[in-house]
Amino acid sequence: MFKDVPENHWAAGGIAAVSDPDVGLMHGYEDGTFRPDKPVTRAELAMVINRFLYRENNR
């Protein structure tokens, strides 16, 4: 998991699900953090949507 997401964080389960290597929607940051309380940027959201659509269209 990520060093800034404790197991009791309200979104820990969702973060684990979307960052699972088999799912690959989100990867976190290079420093090993996920920054769950930081607002998502447009660029980050665009990447997630692109990854989701690519996976859905290639099943």
Full residue range of the structural domain in which residue 26 is found: 12-57
Confidence of residue 58 (pLDDT cuts 50, 70, 90): low
Residue 2 belongs to some domain of the structure: no
Q: For the chain, how many structural domains are there in total?
A: 1
d(CA 31, CA 56): 29
Say how far apart CA 35 and CA 26 lie, in whole Å.
Answer: 12
Write down the pTM of the prediction. 0.79
| CB proximity list for 38: less than 8 A, separation 6 or greater | none
3 lies in a domain?
Answer: no
In a domain, 40, yes or no: yes
pLDDT digits (tens, 9 = 90+) for 19-56: 999 888 899 999 999 999 999 999 999 999 998 888 65
